[in-house]
Amino acid sequence: MKLFWMLLVWMSLTIAVSAFAQTKAGDAANGRVLFVKNGCYQCHGYEGQGGTAGARLAQTKLPLVAFTAFVRNPPSGGMPPYRAKVMSDQELADVYAHIKTFPEPKAAKDIPLLNN
Protein backbone atom coordinates (compact mmCIF):
# COMPACT_ATOMS: atom_id res chain seq x y z
CA MET A 1 0.00 0.00 0.00
CA LYS A 2 2.84 2.38 0.85
CA LEU A 3 4.42 1.65 -2.54
CA PHE A 4 1.11 2.52 -4.21
CA TRP A 5 1.04 5.96 -2.56
CA MET A 6 4.68 6.62 -3.38
CA LEU A 7 4.00 5.72 -7.01
CA LEU A 8 0.91 7.93 -7.06
CA VAL A 9 2.88 10.90 -5.70
CA TRP A 10 5.70 10.30 -8.19
CA MET A 11 3.25 10.15 -11.09
CA SER A 12 1.51 13.31 -9.89
CA LEU A 13 4.81 15.15 -9.68
CA THR A 14 5.81 13.96 -13.15
CA ILE A 15 2.53 15.20 -14.61
CA ALA A 16 2.81 18.48 -12.74
CA VAL A 17 6.37 19.09 -13.96
CA SER A 18 5.37 18.58 -17.58
CA ALA A 19 2.30 20.80 -17.16
CA PHE A 20 4.28 23.59 -15.53
CA ALA A 21 6.78 23.71 -18.33
CA GLN A 22 4.07 25.74 -20.09
CA THR A 23 2.81 27.76 -17.10
CA LYS A 24 3.74 31.44 -16.82
CA ALA A 25 4.89 33.06 -13.60
CA GLY A 26 2.02 33.55 -11.17
CA ASP A 27 0.03 36.75 -10.75
CA ALA A 28 -0.28 37.38 -7.00
CA ALA A 29 -3.22 39.81 -7.38
CA ASN A 30 -5.27 37.25 -9.28
CA GLY A 31 -4.08 34.60 -6.80
CA ARG A 32 -5.61 36.59 -3.94
CA VAL A 33 -8.95 36.72 -5.76
CA LEU A 34 -8.81 32.95 -6.38
CA PHE A 35 -7.71 32.25 -2.78
CA VAL A 36 -10.91 33.91 -1.56
CA LYS A 37 -13.19 32.74 -4.39
CA ASN A 38 -12.25 29.07 -3.92
CA GLY A 39 -12.53 29.23 -0.12
CA CYS A 40 -8.85 28.59 0.70
CA TYR A 41 -9.01 31.27 3.41
CA GLN A 42 -11.71 29.32 5.27
CA CYS A 43 -9.18 26.75 6.50
CA HIS A 44 -5.83 28.47 5.96
CA GLY A 45 -6.76 32.02 7.04
CA TYR A 46 -6.58 35.22 4.99
CA GLU A 47 -2.85 35.54 5.64
CA GLY A 48 -2.04 31.83 5.45
CA GLN A 49 -1.67 31.59 9.22
CA GLY A 50 -3.49 28.25 9.32
CA GLY A 51 -6.05 27.11 11.81
CA THR A 52 -7.79 24.05 13.18
CA ALA A 53 -8.81 22.86 9.70
CA GLY A 54 -5.87 23.94 7.55
CA ALA A 55 -2.09 24.06 7.62
CA ARG A 56 -0.07 27.27 7.83
CA LEU A 57 0.85 28.39 4.31
CA ALA A 58 2.82 31.52 5.17
CA GLN A 59 6.49 31.17 4.23
CA THR A 60 5.98 27.73 2.71
CA LYS A 61 9.15 26.04 1.50
CA LEU A 62 7.29 23.89 -1.03
CA PRO A 63 8.25 24.58 -4.65
CA LEU A 64 5.39 25.29 -7.05
CA VAL A 65 5.45 21.79 -8.54
CA ALA A 66 5.13 20.10 -5.13
CA PHE A 67 2.46 22.59 -4.03
CA THR A 68 0.41 21.84 -7.15
CA ALA A 69 0.81 18.08 -6.80
CA PHE A 70 -0.40 18.31 -3.18
CA VAL A 71 -3.37 20.55 -4.00
CA ARG A 72 -4.41 18.29 -6.87
CA ASN A 73 -4.07 15.05 -4.84
CA PRO A 74 -4.15 15.73 -1.09
CA PRO A 75 -4.20 12.80 1.35
CA SER A 76 -7.70 11.51 2.00
CA GLY A 77 -9.53 12.97 4.96
CA GLY A 78 -7.91 16.38 4.58
CA MET A 79 -8.62 19.16 2.16
CA PRO A 80 -10.63 18.50 -0.98
CA PRO A 81 -8.69 18.00 -4.22
CA TYR A 82 -8.62 21.02 -6.52
CA ARG A 83 -8.56 19.41 -9.95
CA ALA A 84 -7.91 21.31 -13.18
CA LYS A 85 -11.67 21.76 -13.67
CA VAL A 86 -11.76 23.85 -10.50
CA MET A 87 -8.43 25.71 -10.88
CA SER A 88 -6.16 25.54 -13.91
CA ASP A 89 -2.40 25.14 -13.55
CA GLN A 90 -2.03 28.86 -14.26
CA GLU A 91 -4.58 29.71 -11.58
CA LEU A 92 -2.72 27.51 -9.09
CA ALA A 93 0.49 29.32 -10.03
CA ASP A 94 -1.33 32.58 -9.28
CA VAL A 95 -2.50 31.28 -5.88
CA TYR A 96 1.06 30.13 -5.15
CA ALA A 97 2.38 33.61 -6.06
CA HIS A 98 -0.15 35.09 -3.61
CA ILE A 99 0.89 32.66 -0.88
CA LYS A 100 4.53 33.66 -1.37
CA THR A 101 3.55 37.27 -0.50
CA PHE A 102 2.36 36.30 3.00
CA PRO A 103 4.50 37.85 5.73
CA GLU A 104 6.58 35.72 8.02
CA PRO A 105 4.67 34.85 11.20
CA LYS A 106 5.55 36.83 14.31
CA ALA A 107 7.74 35.17 16.88
CA ALA A 108 5.89 34.09 20.04
CA LYS A 109 7.87 36.61 22.11
CA ASP A 110 6.44 39.41 19.93
CA ILE A 111 2.80 38.49 20.60
CA PRO A 112 1.65 40.23 23.80
CA LEU A 113 -1.19 37.80 24.53
CA LEU A 114 1.30 34.94 24.67
CA ASN A 115 3.58 36.76 27.08
CA ASN A 116 1.20 37.75 29.89
All structural domains of the chain: 18-103 (1.10.760.10)
Q: What are the pLDDT tens digits along the chain (116 aa)?
A: 666 666 666 666 666 555 555 567 899 999 999 999 999 999 999 999 998 899 999 888 999 999 999 999 999 888 999 999 999 999 999 999 999 999 887 788 888 888 87
d(CA 56, CA 17): 24
d(CA 84, CA 9): 17
- Phi, psi for 21 (deg, rounded to 5): -65, -25
d(CA 93, CA 58): 16
